[in-house]
A and B are shown apart, each in its own frame.
Chain A
């Protein structure tokens, strides 16, 4: 372990003493490298994960640069996974990165997810999250749901058979996104939700997360925590499935 690099975080009681080793030993999959995916990737790499898998089939656009912190003007037109790799390697040259320049779908989801210990949701649509939810429940892989719009968003850890999953709370399971350029989103909201999701991911890795749903509005500002019981009859994670 590189003590000097991580000295400031190892010394906090939430991580000391074994937490840093657990973080380093975790393979993180980030699905979607937009606004929240950018923030989560960078923070988790800075905090010491050794292996990250990046999934996105998009290229960088000029309209991404106001909030997607992995990219700069020179990256416009390039695959996001490639530009992200370059940025993340510049933070830690020993980082192991797997790039998957595809859209996660019903055909490839399970094979991609089974390579990881935890999945971070950086997607922008209901359908992808429905696939992540179903595959993670099947593979018993924890995942962190995050979504943002306007000035606010949600974060929730979904730990299979332990916490409520997306189906338990009747979250829509199909449907495409309204693009951020149409729906509108505040860049600081994107970064705040990405940062909150990163904290919840670390807590989940360390076995300290409750699975509550967090709603955060950066404009008010306001943070609400909603306790959600797992539905044992849930069509996705229920005891009979």
Chain B
């Protein structure tokens, strides 16, 4: 299966990408995040990452299907 990962804000600098395609049979968001945190270890330091699956908030158990688009937003605290 093929999925698209889109990065936002400082995650673009952290990964050096705006988006990328991953090809692997992921079952859920948890597996996708494990793969991404392995590829970009600095991602794992950020608690409270916001993950959206096809424009809707996704939790770790959300099921991933071929052609899905996953957006990754960092937590932000400033005001």
Residues of chain A at the chain B interface (Cβ within 8 Å): 32, 34-37, 121-126, 129, 146-154, 164, 169-172, 175, 177-178, 180, 183, 185, 213, 215, 217, 224-229
Q: Is the CB of A226 within 8 A of B71?
A: yes
Q: Is the CB of B8 within 8 A of A224?
A: yes
Number of A-B contacts (CB under 8 A): 85
| Interface: B16 (CB within 8 A) | no
Q: Is the CB of A172 within 8 A of B79?
A: no
Residues of chain B at the chain A interface (Cβ within 8 Å): 8-10, 47-48, 50, 52, 55-57, 59, 71, 73, 75-79
- Which residues of B lie under 8 Å from residue A150 when comparing CB positions? 9-10
- Which residues of A lie under 8 Å from residue B73 when comparing CB positions? 154, 215, 226
Task: Tell me whether chain B's interface is mostly helix, strand or loop, or mixed.
Answer: loop
Pick from A153, A172, A224, A228: contact of B48, CB under 8 Å: A172
Pick from B55, B57, B76: contact of A149, CB under 8 Å: B76
Q: Is the CB of B56 within 8 A of A124?
A: no
Pick from B9, B48, B55, B71: contact of A217, CB under 8 Å: B9
Task: Tell me whether chain A's interface is mostly helix, strand or loop, or mixed.
Answer: mixed
Chain B residue nearest to A37 (CB atoms) is B79
- In the bound complex, CA of A129 to CA of B75 (Å): 13
Q: Is the CB of A164 within 8 A of B57?
A: yes
Chain B residue nearest to A148 (CB atoms) is B78
Taking the nearest CB of chain A, how far is it from the CB of B29, in angstroms? 12
Chain A residue nearest to B46 (CB atoms) is A172
Q: Is the CB of A124 within 8 A of B76?
A: no
Beyond A150-B9, A171-B48, A217-B9, whether A183 also contacts B57 by CB under 8 A is no
Choose among A36, A37, A178, A227 the residue with the greatest number of B CB atoms under 10 Å from its CB: A227
Taking the nearest CB of chain B, how far is it from the CB of A130, in angstroms? 11
- Which residues of B lie under 8 Å from residue A228 when comparing CB positions? 56-57
Pick from B47, B57, B71, B77: contact of A224, CB under 8 Å: B71
Chain A residue nearest to B74 (CB atoms) is A149
Pick from B8, B55, B56, B79: contact of A147, CB under 8 Å: B79
- Which residues of B lie under 8 Å from residue A154 when comparing CB positions? 73, 76
Q: Is the CB of A147 within 8 A of B77?
A: yes
Q: Is the CB of B57 within 8 A of A227?
A: yes
Taking the nearest CB of chain B, how far is it from the CB of A93, in angstroms? 28
- Which residues of A lie under 8 Å from residue B9 when comparing CB positions? 149-152, 215, 217
- In the bound complex, CA of A147 to CA of B9 (Å): 13
Taking the nearest CB of chain A, how far is it from the CB of B5, in angstroms? 14
- Which residues of A lie under 8 Å from residue B52 when comparing CB positions? 226
Chain B residue nearest to A124 (CB atoms) is B79
